[in-house]
Amino acid sequence: MRLKGVLSYKGTNFFGYQIQKDSTQRSVQKEIQDVLKRIFNSEIKIFSSGRTDRGVHAVGQVIHFDIEKEVNVTKLKHSMNCLLPSDIHFISLEEVDETFHARFSCVNKEYRYVINLGEYSPLTNDIMYNYCSSLDLEKIKEAMKLFIGRHNFINFCANDDGDYIREIYSFTCEEKENIITFKIIGNGFRRYMVRMIIGTLIEVGKNKLDIDSLRTLINGENFLRVSFKAPSEGLYLYKVNYEKEGKSEYDDN
Amino acid sequence: MRLKGVLSYKGTNFFGYQIQKDSTQRSVQKEIQDVLKRIFNSEIKIFSSGRTDRGVHAVGQVIHFDIEKEVNVTKLKHSMNCLLPSDIHFISLEEVDETFHARFSCVNKEYRYVINLGEYSPLTNDIMYNYCSSLDLEKIKEAMKLFIGRHNFINFCANDDGDYIREIYSFTCEEKENIITFKIIGNGFRRYMVRMIIGTLIEVGKNKLDIDSLRTLINGENFLRVSFKAPSEGLYLYKVNYEKEGKSEYDDN
């Protein structure tokens, strides 16, 4: 049977989602696979909707894996949560159709980025970016509109090969008691893309980058890869959306 | 000159506020005194409004200390915050009258206790109590009223000598998205007192302790020290109040 799990984790003490060559380096994938091995006494590989980098959090990462025998899924979820370390937690676990794939069935993803503009807080220092200075939010909101739509994000990602075209469906922000929460939904995000977008917006908000220069960066015509990458502690993989559970446009092809 | 500082700290990685005999054990007091020693090249003792236990947080702890020379207090605060570890932060630092004493001038204190009744969250596991189960809030609110006023809290504190009479001025709670925040203001709190009060309320909220038994405990007539102590990660020293800055009833005596 194929199982789909939705999980939350605090990225602070992980070298990222993906299993590392150096087995002493903690990863979310390894912790979960180790627990599955303890339960089923065999190696079970898990597949995620995508990696998250070192230090990045998740409140809605999605994974799937296959197990050979039928199990009580509620009990399995409970056992896994008991055996997992306190920084990983399965919010849900359910049986899905064998055509479901955590990565390929995904139609869009929502990331969130949280910035504290107020007084530095030791309490939240690892779960948001303590920027602790003012930003011109009106300018930032104006700049955010430019990201909506389909763009070549070559200037907003790590130096990897591949296709840089991505589409941003929605990009909003909310401010409450000096905490700004950015919500961005797109069909996919390249490595560092959200952090580079947020880093650029911070530059705009402190008047170090004007809207015209930002437009040039987003057009992707000149290769000007941005250097302002907002830190990992503010970033959350918030939700991974699937059009129809267990069946996606991808699988229909 | 005498300086009054208001500080926040995340208690998770401290053995408590107070300096420990074993110098390898981190304490808030030691970290601050070490920084003062680096800045002034002499031993400066700091005095707090009171200790907080291992793992307990603060967002408004108050300390005072004396320095021999006149300094620019704004710059000193900035230097201290730069030199302190990321889990301690001075929110304010100001010169006060020499009659001000962080502990003896205090007229009341507010503690807060935060409980998550919803899904376990790895993100907030060290800054609130992940209880993750329902509680009868109406019963809890009824029980909270019994604590208001002057009582002998012998059943609600650690096994130390001294006077157990304390007065609770206000005790309220707010629930928002499965997070309950208790706010308790009193003229003083014995060791473990807030955690034992909250622990008892949890017992009431899950119908393991009835209101009459609670009344007996609060009356302090029978020695029945409670065993249900809510964990440290939910507790915050929220605010220390002084009637008149630099001068208190105590100093007037």
The contact set of A with B (CB < 8 A) is: 8-10, 57, 59, 81, 86-89, 91, 119-125, 127
- Closest to B86 (Cβ–Cβ): which among A87, A91, A125? A125
Nearest chain A alpha carbon to B12 = A123
Q: Which residues in A lie closer than 8 A to residue B127 (C-beta atoms)?
A: 123-124
> Is residue B190 very low, low, confident or very high in pLDDT (cuts 50, 70, 90)?
very high
> Is residue B159 very low, low, confident or very high in pLDDT (cuts 50, 70, 90)?
confident
pLDDT digits (tens, 9 = 90+) for A185-211: 999 999 999 999 999 999 999 999 999
Interchain contact, B88 vs A125, CB within 8 Å: no
Q: Which residues in A lie closer than 8 A to residue B10 (C-beta atoms)?
A: 122-123, 125
- Closest to A87 (Cβ–Cβ): which among B57, B87, B122? B122
- Based on the residue annotation, tell me whether A163 is a catalytic residue of this protein: no
Interchain contact, B122 vs A91, CB within 8 Å: no
Q: Give the whole-number percent of chain A exceeding pLDDT 70.
A: 96
Nearest chain A alpha carbon to B87 = A122
Residue A251 has pLDDT above 60, yes or no: no
Name the nearest CA neighbour of B61 among B25, B106, B26: B106
Q: Which residues in B lie closer than 8 A to residue A8 (C-beta atoms)?
A: 121-123
Q: Which residues in A lie closer than 8 A to residue B86 (C-beta atoms)?
A: 122, 125
Higher-pLDDT residue of B160 and B238 is: B238
Q: Which of A123, A177, A181 to mutate to test the interface with B (most CBs of B within 10 A)?
A: A123
Q: Are A26 and A13 in contact (CB under 8 A)?
A: yes
Q: What is the pLDDT of residue A159?
A: 76
pLDDT digits (tens, 9 = 90+) for B44-93: 999 999 999 999 999 999 999 999 989 999 999 999 999 999 999 999 99
Q: What is the pLDDT of residue B248?
A: 41
Q: What is the pLDDT of residue B253?
A: 32
What count of CB pairs under 8 Å joins A to B?
46
pLDDT digits (tens, 9 = 90+) for A133-148: 999 999 999 999 999 9
Interchain contact, B123 vs A91, CB within 8 Å: no
Q: Residue with structure tokens 């993750």? A: B132
pLDDT digits (tens, 9 = 90+) for B115-140: 999 999 999 999 999 999 999 999 99
Q: Are A93 and A77 in contact (CB under 8 A)?
A: yes
Q: Give the whole-number percent of chain A exceeding pLDDT 90.
A: 87
The contact set of B with A (CB < 8 A) is: 8-10, 57, 59, 81, 86-89, 91, 119-125, 127
- Closest to A89 (Cβ–Cβ): which among B10, B81, B122? B122
- Closest to B122 (Cβ–Cβ): which among A86, A119, A121? A86
Mean per-residue pLDDT, B212-223: 85
Q: What is the pLDDT of residue A220?
A: 81
CA distance B198 to B144: 9
Distance from CA of B177 to the nearest CA of A (A): 16
- Closest to A8 (Cβ–Cβ): which among B87, B89, B121? B121
Distance from CA of A61 to the nearest CA of B (A): 13
A63-67, A210-214, B92-96: segment of lowest average pLDDT: A210-214
Q: What is the 3-state secondary structure (H, E, C) of chain B?
A: CEEEEEEEECHHHCCCCCCCCCCCCCCHHHHHHHHHHHHHCCCCCCEECCCCCCCCEEEEEEEEEECCCCCCHHHHHHHHHHHCCCCEEEEEEEEECCCCCCCCCEEEEEEEEEEECCCCCCCCCCCCEECCCCCCHHHHHHHHHHHCEEEEHHHHCCCCCCCCEEEEEEEEEEEECCEEEEEEEECCCCCCHHHHHHHHHHHHHCCCCCHHHHHHHHHCCCCCCCCCCCCHHHEEEEEEEECECCECHHHHC
Q: What is the pLDDT of residue B244?
A: 59
Is the ipTM, as predicted for this complex, more than 0.90?
no
Q: Which of A22, A34, A53, A66 is catalytic?
A: A53
Mean per-residue pLDDT, B144-153: 96
> Is residue A253 very low, low, confident or very high in pLDDT (cuts 50, 70, 90)?
very low
The tokens describing A6, both together, are 């939705």
Nearest chain A alpha carbon to B10 = A123
Q: What is the pLDDT of residue A244?
A: 59
Nearest chain A alpha carbon to B132 = A91
> What is the torsional sign of CA A196, A199, A205, A210?
negative
pTM for the full predicted model:
0.91
Q: What is the pLDDT of residue B245?
A: 46
Nearest chain A alpha carbon to B127 = A123
Distance from CA of B19 to the nearest CA of A (A): 19
> Is residue A250 very low, low, confident or very high in pLDDT (cuts 50, 70, 90)?
very low
CA distance A109 to A112: 10
